[in-house]
Amino acid sequence: METADFVRTLDREGLLLAAAAEEAGVDAKVPTCPDWQVRDLLRHTGAVHRWAASFVAQAHTSPRPLGSGPDLDGPELLAWYRDSHRHLVDTLGGASPDVECWTFHPAPNPSPLAFWARRQAHETTVHRFDAESARGGTPTGIAAEFAVDGIDELLRGFHARPRSRVRTEEPRLLRVRATDAGADADAVWAVRLSAEPPVTTREESDGDADAELAGPAAQLYLALWNRLPVPDVTGDASLAALWREKSAIG
């Protein structure tokens, strides 16, 4: 996917998030994030939007603290979220393609701008799903191509960092398979677990694995972000349990 595609997705998903949050109300519980109400979701996501925009807009080349959302509530909080989202979309859409700024995980990206557009598109899509879970009803669908990209970013980006807690005492191989990635082939990842951070590669073969997590890309994407159950688990179910227990991004 191109940077402009991610920005368009970010734009759409943020609007959907705000609409679902407004319909649910700020007091509504968020079933996919049991400790949160919708107000917490808006404050968090809006703060992330402003934090991300600051790196691109101001070309910061070192990390900066995330900060927290404002002491607002109700319609004022919703308006602040919408403004935060619009500021991020406009910042990314108007930035120079060769802007140099800080990024925070090693997943392959052609540029810092591409990193932030990709990261915020996925951040917002997952939290849009959270907002729609608070509202109830049928959630908006996620395109298979985008979901496959998000699985790749999660496995080869977030969980390549030293802070990943998905580890095993002995080497194990966890395969992840999106079964609807294209007409001719699945999208498959080999996640090599050990006492060190996971090492993930894309693979084409069906070699032996200790366990496999599989399913349609959109469901698998949300499952790996711990929003839905994994559609299909084969092999050692303890590795699926390990993922649920240890994969949260801190």
- The residues facing 187 across adjacent strands are 178
Residue 183: its pLDDT value, please? 46
- The series of mean pLDDT values per 10 residues for the chain, 250 residues long, is 96 98 98 97 98 98 93 97 98 97 92 98 98 98 96 96 96 95 74 97 82 96 97 96 92
d(C-alpha 237, C-alpha 213), whole Å: 9
Residue 131: its pLDDT value, please? 98
What is the per-residue pLDDT across 171-207, written as a single tens digit (0 to 9) for each? 999 999 999 876 446 799 999 999 999 999 988 667 7
Assess contact for 13 and 121: CB atoms under 8 A.
yes
What is the per-residue pLDDT across 46-70, written as a single tens digit (0 to 9) for each? 999 999 999 999 999 999 999 888 9
CA distances from 149 to 143, 145, 154, 205 (A): 10, 6, 9, 19
Residue 108: its pLDDT value, please? 84
pTM: 0.96
Residue 181: its pLDDT value, please? 72
CA distances from 240 to 84, 153, 246 (A): 36, 19, 10
